[in-house]
Structure 1
Amino acid sequence: MHAPQAKPKPGKPIWPKIPAPFVRAMLAGHSALGLAFAALIYLVCFSGAVAVFTSEFNRWEQPTAPVLHSVTPAAVGAAFDEVLAKNPKAHDLFIRMPEPALPRLSVHGDDAKGGEHTWFADASGNIVAEQRTPWSEFQARLHTALHLPGTWGFFLVGLTGVALLSSLVSGVLSHPRVFKDAFAFRWGGSKRLQEADLHNRISVWGLPFHVVVSLTGAFLGLSVLIVGVLAMVVFDGNREKVFALFSGPPVADDARPAPVIDVARGLAVLQAQNPKAGFNYIFVEHPGETGQHMSVNRTTPGKLSRGEIIIVDGNAKVLGPAGFESGNLGMAIYSSLTPLHFGWFGGWPVKVAYFLLGLGLTAVTASGVAIWLARRRDKGRPAPRWERVWVAFCWSQPLAYAVSAIVALLAPGVPPVAVWGGVTLAANACAFLWTPATLSIRLRLASAVGLALVALVHLGLNTGRTVDPVAWILDASLVLGAGLLAASVWASRRTAQV
């Protein structure tokens, strides 16, 4: 017989033991940050999940525009020339090339009266329609700038990203067992404990995504502030010199008249140099002047980047790149921020994953405040008004988005932001009428009806003349979303009856 072997001593834990006072301090900071920025974080997360599909919503909102998977330099040049002819004194024009997410050729410019317009072109470069996508533009700007004037919106969104990142870090540090208990649930007990477990589990499962979007969002939102500080420190407050660092080889301003730049020729030269590259957009500055030039965004397959910017002068001579792909590591990182933040790489699978993870982060934010309110109630210090207001605010957003989309489809002249704001206020006013449970059920049901109506209205307006198949996909997705919300209402009522 062999002598019984001694049990091996347990190894040292991966994480060092965290002192209890430190954990309490982190938890207090986590709660304070979450509460201070709760509404902003929720709104930015929800709007960000929707903004992942900005290109697709552009196609959905105007599905009759030509779908072009490729285009010739001659067609691009023809579209540019036709738009410039509408206002020969235009200061600059922006040409958007077809790409997988947005397979359309469009030209943006101003008219003789100073108004700005975007026109769609067909495969031959003929202008066929003016772009009218007010709702897509509304939801994108709501996420990036909250529709606030000037740079205040970008700054506030960036600050919200910092608060979210800080909340993530403090949340992890305030729960020493958060990774060990990543798959532990306490079902059947206190509702607050169930919500706390779900809050912590979703936070851990999506932690890499949460860190990436909050960090990149903070950088993008605060970039205006960063530029301002850099200008003061290095260039005596001259912001133009800071922007010049990212603009590529400089072209001297020269307002003397000259033959209009040949966009087709310049693009053909770049295509000959890089036959496998794609081209996202062309920004033509000062057309018809000696100092005219164009900045061409060239994408390289397989690179996580917004693309390289190539400067071409008025004689179709390539002056060189700005350095986003060929420059230093800092330029490459900066160029990757936008695709990393929005999930604009990897096609539909990545976008769907970003959307679901974004909704998960939205749910984490909503449940965090709900847990804090439930804890107050358990301690004998309930805040029933705030409970109702928070439920109303959270479930107001799907409804406000749906109603604003319906109005945008039926009355494009009505600003979607006004409709969104009105519905949000009306939904929050309902907090004075119903209990939190009733608010949740009724607003979810209203949102389900709203999403279904968006799809039905869109189908009614475009049946028989829709060209872009993405429109059908989004309509089906809206109906699916309506069904899931309705199912959640049914589940809530069934649970309440048990």
Structure 2
Amino acid sequence: MKFSLKPTPAFVRDMTDGHSVLGLAISTLLYIVCVSGTLAVFYNEFERWEQASELENLDVSPSVYQLATEQAVALAKEQNEEFESVKFTIPNSDMPRLTVEVGDIERYVDEDGSLLGEVQHEWTHFLAYLHFALNLPLGLGVPLVGLIGVLMTALIISGLLAHPKIIKDAFSLRLAGSKRLQQVDLHNRLGVWAAPFHLAIAITGAFIGLSQVAAFAIAGVFFAGDTEKVEHMLYREHPVMKENAAQVPLPDFAAILAQMEQIAPGEERTKLEVAFPGREGQVVEVWTRVPAKLVWGERYHFNGDGSLIEKEGWSEGDAAKQVYLSTFRLHFGHFSGFPVKIAYFLLGIGMCVLVVSGINIWLVRKRQRGQPAVRLERIWMAQVWGIPFAIAFSAVTYLAFAIPAAQVFWLTTIVLSGIAAFVGTVAGWSMLLRGATTAACILAVVVHASLYGADSFVRASLVANAVWLLIAAGIAASCLYTWVRHRDGAFASTVGGAVGSN
């Protein structure tokens, strides 16, 4: 029996198919990160949208914090809830609602300091976790998304370097050409004109995702593996309660807030935390947002009597610290007001189109070379429109039936991909899921309006529902465009918004 190390054609074909599947899987994860990130630009609006009828724009007096702290501590003890601190969200421009958190309990707070209903932002938290951790455990998901950011950075740079006529072709958009030329021009124009945005998002995403890995590396090299020492390079050490600490009155909130007016008059207060409330050694931390700074905020530490211990110094630290602390707001577009959010949303849609068109070009080339990847074409099309559908559908099922959104999203995405691997056509999947996504977006607004009535169309809920309706309108317009082209006989049998029968 003759033995040869030379691979057989069948083996090469199997390896090529495996490589294609792996490439598609990576692109799918990148696409999920892009789609979820585009919606997560409106994270604060969606949080308020989930509970549209809660009180907003409260003018909070210092006595409210004291009364709410007393009630939160009593509630935690009643429910045997372990806690070290009581945390408040101070009404601010992003979240104009007063909330208190103690242990795993989180409640809204009324104007008189009494505790109201539970804070529930489960769908919005799903969306955020989908973006920065793919709903995986944080220790695994965050670095994975960071690696995707590295990959995206490499794709952007290599794409720019591979385009020798980048300036000459800057305005080339051959919509009347073949499907491949349309996809190539769309991909290149989006990639070139929005490259600064794409690079900023990719680099900051990679930085955020891999920062924990970097912290472990720094700790291993410089601090004998002690990650707390790395953390304390950025944050003040958390206070530790003394053993057998005596009971003392709650902090003087009036004195602390009066101090804040003097030392930080132009900074918007966002959070307040009381460590070891009512015990000797208690400390109060006040978080603020600093005008004209990209850093995520500033933090001030006070003794219980209202005297200032120190200012954290995030907004005044060295350049490296400020760069690190600025990546978060830069990545999510949470700076310079609502116009920047709209710009990030539109540019995010462009990034999604960039990912889709890149895979489309690869699939078209395979078809033109006589090696059509029919199954991959169907799976990819089911994901291109199935992922937005799954996100919108998860919002509907969560609002209507409180079904966990992560389960709905992943089950829907996997089932659609699995079915598309065996049945249907690319064109059929495209039209079906575009219609389903349009319907799901509209249904999310309908269900929300049925739950909250007039509150669905004011303040943040108006923004969130407008986002759903604009997405639905955009997808419906794409369906109409495809139908018109098909009716006029110009509908090409290839990969794209809808690919001909296979």
Quickly name the TM-score band, shorter chain normalised: 0.7 to 0.9
Question: CA separation in 2, counterparts of 1:99 and 1:423?
Answer: 36
Which of residues 363, 374, 389 in structure 1 aligns to 2:379?
389
Question: CA separation in 1, counterparts of 2:382 and 2:267?
Answer: 49
One-letter identity of the residue aligned with 1:94: K
* 2:40 alignment counterpart: 51
SS in 2 for 1:279: strand
Shift of residue 211 of structure 1? 0.7
Which of residues 86, 90, 98 in structure 1 aligns to 2:83?
90
Question: CA separation in 1, counterparts of 2:410 and 2:28?
Answer: 14
Relative to 1, partners in 2 of residues 1:315 and 1:230: Cα closer, same or farther, differing over 3 Å?
Answer: farther
Question: CA separation in 2, counterparts of 1:123 and 1:287?
Answer: 21
Is it true that 1:489 corresponds to 2:482 in the alignment?
A: no
- 1:316-465 superposed matches below 5 A: 316-412=306-402, 414-431=403-420, 432-464=422-454
Answer yes or no: is the 8 Å Cα contact 1:161–1:214 preserved in 2.
yes
Answer yes or no: is the 8 Å Cα contact 1:249–1:311 preserved in 2.
no
Answer yes or no: is the 8 Å Cα contact 1:248–1:310 preserved in 2.
no
Question: CA separation in 1, counterparts of 2:424 and 2:210?
Answer: 40
Q: Which deviations, in whole Å up to 9, do the C-alpha atoms of 1:113-136 show, x marking residues without a partner?
A: xxx121111333332221122111
Answer yes or no: is the 8 Å Cα contact 1:279–1:296 preserved in 2.
yes
Answer yes or no: is the 8 Å Cα contact 1:311–1:321 preserved in 2.
yes
Q: Which deviations, in whole Å up to 9, do the C-alpha atoms of 1:264-318 show, x marking residues without a partner?
A: 2323322232222211112332333333323321222222221112222333321
Which of residues 67, 90, 100 in structure 2 aligns to 1:107?
100
Question: CA separation in 1, counterparts of 2:83 and 2:442?
Answer: 43
Answer yes or no: is the 8 Å Cα contact 1:388–1:439 preserved in 2.
yes
Relative to 1, partners in 2 of residues 1:155 and 1:398: Cα closer, same or farther, differing over 3 Å?
Answer: same
One-letter identity of the residue aligned with 2:48: R
Is it true that 1:280 corresponds to 2:273 in the alignment?
A: no
Answer yes or no: is the 8 Å Cα contact 2:251–2:277 preserved in 1.
no
Relative to 1, partners in 2 of residues 1:321 and 1:173: Cα closer, same or farther, differing over 3 Å?
Answer: same
Shift of residue 35 of structure 1? 5.4
One-letter identity of the residue aligned with 1:402: A
Unaligned runs of 5+ in 1: 1-30, 111-115
* 2:117 alignment counterpart: 129
Is it true that 1:292 corresponds to 2:282 in the alignment?
A: yes
* 2:190 alignment counterpart: 202
Bigger mean CA deviation after superposition, 235-244 or 451-460:
235-244
Unaligned runs of 5+ in 2: 1-19, 489-502
Relative to 1, partners in 2 of residues 1:81 and 1:183: Cα closer, same or farther, differing over 3 Å?
Answer: farther
SS in 1 for 2:101: strand
* 1:215 alignment counterpart: 203
Question: CA separation in 2, counterparts of 1:95 and 1:480?
Answer: 34
Q: Which deviations, in whole Å up to 9, do the C-alpha atoms of 1:431-453 show, x marking residues without a partner?
A: 12211111111100000011111
Answer yes or no: is the 8 Å Cα contact 2:53–2:455 preserved in 1.
yes
Bigger mean CA deviation after superposition, 49-58 or 147-156:
147-156
Question: CA separation in 2, counterparts of 1:464 and 1:32?
Answer: 47
Question: CA separation in 2, counterparts of 1:440 and 1:278?
Answer: 46
SS in 1 for 2:362: helix
Answer yes or no: is the 8 Å Cα contact 2:42–2:464 preserved in 1.
no
Bigger mean CA deviation after superposition, 87-96 or 153-162:
87-96
Bigger mean CA deviation after superposition, 187-196 or 365-374:
187-196
One-letter identity of the residue aligned with 2:437: S
One-letter identity of the residue aligned with 1:259: V
Answer yes or no: is the 8 Å Cα contact 1:248–1:309 preserved in 2.
no
Answer yes or no: is the 8 Å Cα contact 2:251–2:278 preserved in 1.
no
Question: CA separation in 2, counterparts of 1:93 and 1:417?
Answer: 29
Question: CA separation in 1, counterparts of 2:239 and 2:107?
Answer: 28
Shift of residue 258 of structure 1? 3.4
Is it true that 1:73 corresponds to 2:66 in the alignment?
A: no
Q: Which deviations, in whole Å up to 9, do the C-alpha atoms of 1:168-225 show, x marking residues without a partner?
A: 0011011111233111122322111110110010111111110111111111111110
Answer yes or no: is the 8 Å Cα contact 1:144–1:153 preserved in 2.
yes
Answer yes or no: is the 8 Å Cα contact 1:95–1:105 preserved in 2.
yes
Relative to 1, partners in 2 of residues 1:70 and 1:368: Cα closer, same or farther, differing over 3 Å?
Answer: farther
Shift of residue 252 of structure 1? 5.2
Q: Which deviations, in whole Å up to 9, do the C-alpha atoms of 1:137-181 show, x marking residues without a partner?
A: 111111111111241011101111111011100110111112331
Shift of residue 342 of structure 1? 0.2
Q: Which deviations, in whole Å up to 9, do the C-alpha atoms of 1:2-29 show, x marking residues without a partner?
A: xxxxxxxxxxxxxxxxxxxxxxxxxxxx
Is it true that 1:149 corresponds to 2:147 in the alignment?
A: no
One-letter identity of the residue aligned with 1:64: S
Question: CA separation in 2, counterparts of 1:361 and 1:33?
Answer: 21
* 2:256 alignment counterpart: 266
Question: CA separation in 1, counterparts of 2:322 and 2:437?
Answer: 41
Answer yes or no: is the 8 Å Cα contact 2:251–2:284 preserved in 1.
no
RMSD: 2.1
Bigger mean CA deviation after superposition, 126-135 or 188-197:
126-135
Relative to 1, partners in 2 of residues 1:480 and 1:445: Cα closer, same or farther, differing over 3 Å?
Answer: same
SS in 2 for 1:434: coil
Answer yes or no: is the 8 Å Cα contact 2:457–2:465 preserved in 1.
no
Shift of residue 106 of structure 1? 0.9
Shift of residue 80 of structure 1? 2.8
SS in 2 for 1:87: helix
Relative to 1, partners in 2 of residues 1:273 and 1:391: Cα closer, same or farther, differing over 3 Å?
Answer: same
Answer yes or no: is the 8 Å Cα contact 1:310–1:322 preserved in 2.
yes
Relative to 1, partners in 2 of residues 1:465 and 1:101: Cα closer, same or farther, differing over 3 Å?
Answer: closer
SS in 1 for 2:106: strand
Answer yes or no: is the 8 Å Cα contact 2:144–2:209 preserved in 1.
yes
Is it true that 1:239 corresponds to 2:227 in the alignment?
A: yes
One-letter identity of the residue aligned with 1:174: A
Which of residues 468, 473, 476 in structure 2 aligns to 1:478?
468
Shift of residue 99 of structure 1? 1.6
Relative to 1, partners in 2 of residues 1:379 and 1:467: Cα closer, same or farther, differing over 3 Å?
Answer: closer
Question: CA separation in 2, counterparts of 1:288 and 1:74?
Answer: 15
TM-score (norm 1): 0.88
Is it true that 1:37 corresponds to 2:26 in the alignment?
A: yes
Question: CA separation in 2, counterparts of 1:261 and 1:142?
Answer: 39
Shift of residue 484 of structure 1? 2.0
Q: Which deviations, in whole Å up to 9, do the C-alpha atoms of 1:10-59 show, x marking residues without a partner?
A: xxxxxxxxxxxxxxxxxxxxx99975731111111111001111100011
* 1:304 alignment counterpart: 294
